[in-house]
């Protein structure tokens, strides 16, 4: 399909050179999503072929394949034999997605961690107001599970995630745990990298334990302001810990001390 068949397709290659907007695959994915969301590619219409997209965006076909794969995973396009890549019905309905890889990139990890800030702060505040005795027990159990995992030499990532997820359940708003479950794969990687950094310094790990306990204590006390403050403090400190990490850490992010 000639590129002239898609005059409206965004794709000046110069616009894809801004590293602050993510990798080339991130940027191509975002551009194609915008193309679909804006109604410029209607349901049932075909996207240009890989060679055309590669030329239009000034990137390799590998980058294009990655972007198309992400669109498929998001349910925006499907590949039909004989028809190529076709825009799905309902693709114009905007859905929340995270379109970058958090592995090995401090900028990406910081973005996910900053996203958590608003979610965790309000979740903790609502949990302080609405928790049931059983939910409080679940939060406490999750908190103790982190210590147990560390004592047994495990990274404690899943336990850390479960602690925050248990708080979201205690909000009484099912949208919070649903949102947590959606971003779990990204949050889990961010926590894994954060905790790997924390393991390099015992005092840092101790600080994180204190921060977690402060959130729990505020929820126990039904003090929503204190719970919000404790959760925000925890996430803000996590951001600073990542920013201040030894540069060597980012050469092998997530690696545990030997």
What pTM value is reported for the model?
Answer: 0.61
Statement to judge: residues 162 and 211 lie in one domain: yes
Give whole-number Cα distances, 223 to 113, 122, 140, 161, 257, in Å.
Answer: 24, 12, 16, 22, 38
- Look at the chain and report how many structural domains it folds into: 2
Predicted local distance difference test score (pLDDT) of residue 25: 87
Instruction: Please say which residue of 22, 56, 87 terminates a domain.
Output: 87
Statement to judge: residues 111 and 182 lie in one domain: yes
Statement to judge: residues 29 and 82 lie in one domain: yes
CATH of the domain at 25: 1.10.10.10
Statement to judge: residues 145 and 208 lie in one domain: yes
Average pLDDT over residues 128-145: 96
Whether residue 256 lies inside any domain: the answer is: no
Statement to judge: residues 183 and 139 lie in one domain: yes
Statement to judge: residues 65 and 131 lie in one domain: no
Statement to judge: residues 111 and 238 lie in one domain: yes
Whether the per-residue pLDDT at 68 is higher than 80: the answer is yes
Whether residue 93 lies inside any domain: the answer is: no
CATH of the domain at 238: 1.20.120.530
* Contact yes or no for 242/108 (Cβ under 8 A): no
Whether the per-residue pLDDT at 198 is higher than 60: the answer is yes
Whether residue 92 lies inside any domain: the answer is: no
Q: Give the percent of the chain with pLDDT over 70.
A: 74
Statement to judge: residues 55 and 124 lie in one domain: no
Predicted local distance difference test score (pLDDT) of residue 4: 38
Q: Note down the domain range covering 48.
A: 3-87
Whether residue 100 lies inside any domain: the answer is: no
Whether residue 94 lies inside any domain: the answer is: no
Statement to judge: residues 44 and 140 lie in one domain: no
Whether residue 25 lies inside any domain: the answer is: yes
CB atoms inside a 10 Å sphere around CB 210: 11
Backbone angles phi, psi at 236, to 5 degrees: -60, -40
* Eight-state DSSP code of residue 172: S
């Amino acid at each position: 399909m000639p590129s002239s068949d898609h005059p409206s397709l965004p794709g000046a290659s110069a616009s894809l050179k801004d590293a602050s907007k993510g990798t080339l695959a991130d940027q191509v994915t975002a551009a194609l999503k915008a193309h679909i969301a804006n109604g410029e590619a209607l349901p049932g219409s075909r996207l240009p072929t890989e060679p055309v997209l590669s030329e239009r965006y000034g990137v390799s076909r590998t980058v294009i394949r990655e972007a198309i794969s992400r669109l498929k995973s998001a349910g925006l396009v499907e590949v039909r034999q004989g028809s190529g890549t076709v825009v799905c019905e309902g693709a114009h309905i905007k859905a929340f997605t995270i379109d970058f890889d958090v592995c090995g990139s401090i900028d990406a990890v910081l973005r996910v961690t900053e996203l958590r800030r608003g979610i965790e702060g309000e979740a903790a505040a609502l949990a302080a107001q609405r928790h049931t005795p059983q939910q409080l027990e679940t939060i406490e159990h999750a908190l103790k599970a982190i210590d147990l995992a560390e004592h047994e030499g495990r990274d404690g990532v899943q336990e850390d995630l479960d602690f925050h997820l248990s708080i979201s359940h205690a909000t009484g708003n099912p949208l919070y745990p649903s949102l947590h479950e959606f971003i779990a794969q990204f949050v889990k990687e961010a926590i894994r990298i954060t905790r790997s950094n924390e393991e390099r310094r015992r005092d840092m790990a101790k600080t994180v334990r204190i921060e977690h306990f402060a959130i729990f204590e505020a929820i126990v006390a039904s003090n929503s302001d204190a719970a919000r403050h404790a959760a925000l403090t925890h996430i803000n400190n996590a951001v600073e810990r990542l920013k201040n990490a030894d540069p060597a850490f980012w050469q092998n992010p997530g690696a545990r001390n030997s």
